[in-house]
Amino acid sequence: MPAIQPARLRQQVALLAEDFDDPPAYTRSLHFLLDYYSDRARRPGKTGRPGPLLIAYNVRSPVLRMLAKELDPLIQENPAGGLDLCDALWAEPYLEFRLLAAMLLGQIPPNPPEEITDRLRGWITTDVELFLIEALLHHGIERLHREQPQAFLRLIESWMESTNTFQQQLGLRALVRLINDPTFENLPVFFRLIQPLCQAAPAALRPDLLDVLSALARRTPQETAYFLRQTLIFPDSPDTPWLIRQSLSKFPFELRSSLRQAMRDAETLPGKTPTRTRSAH
């Protein structure tokens, strides 16, 4: 793999961007560029992460960042053309092509938001590797989250309200992003969405649900503690005590004793479903 020379790389990506309006030509030229910067000595899994399931050129991240930066003005001028290029990139069964598609999707103005949400729904499937899902939930939702928060929330709700475990996992992971956004102030919706899962949490969802509770405990500890105490009162809430115990350390010290007392009190309530104690794994 040749060393990355920023000036040379800028020239190469600028030349490539001339094919912005011709996605097939862009993807053909991109193969040559990525092959040029490919690290053939890098072995899958060497960095500690599992090797990619897709074919990978193993290029360094500055190459993709510069490609995305060069395309940004063209995308802002012609969002429809940006979407066409995203579709062409995602259609290529190569890791870097799909990573670039995820990055570009987050740069496209979400007007209408369905142009973004429909692609997120279509691209994120059970056979897509986790690395790409993480990229889509980080880069791909960037402007949707910032400029169309209600549309982003509707997407999360559609995932959370599904009976499919994979879709619920997506909803929980995306929900953390919204919880961590201080400009989004509709806090009750967070608790409404996780209420059923906090009563009976499938094992496959427990790690993601704990991430959500941790984010809520940081953002709004008093309201989150109140929510959990109220959830304990429901007759059919066998998993709530386990969730509280696992997330207790995320709360301020002064709230922990009230949560412990609420768990003790809940054990004496008539008609309560016995607490389950299985592990998260």
SS3 254: helix
pTM score, whole prediction: 0.88
pLDDT at residue 267 in the model? 84
Going 241 to 245 to 247 to 249, the CA torsion angle's sign is positive
| Cross-strand partners of 38 | none
Where residue 54 falls among pLDDT bands split at 50, 70, 90?
confident
Say how far apart CA 18 and CA 108 lie, in whole Å: 18
What percent of the chain stands above pLDDT 70?
90
| Cross-strand partners of 55 | 94
Task: Report residue 51 as tokens.
Answer: 């090797």
pLDDT tens-place string over residues 40-50: 666 555 544 55
Where residue 2 falls among pLDDT bands split at 50, 70, 90?
low
The one-letter code for the residue type at 88 is A
pLDDT tens-place string over residues 76-130: 999 999 999 999 999 999 999 999 999 999 999 999 999 999 999 999 999 999 9
Mean pLDDT to the nearest integer, 272-276: 59
Q: Is the pLDDT of residue 275 over 70?
A: no
Q: Is the pLDDT of residue 222 over 60?
A: yes
Judge whether 16 and 67 are in contact, CB under 8 Å.
yes
Say how far apart CA 20 and CA 15 lie, in whole Å: 10
What percent of the chain stands above pLDDT 90?
84
Q: How many C-beta neighbours within 10 Å does residue 118 have?
A: 12
pLDDT tens-place string over residues 226-251: 999 999 998 888 899 999 999 999 99
Helices 221-233, 206-219: inter-axial angle, 10-degree rounding: 130
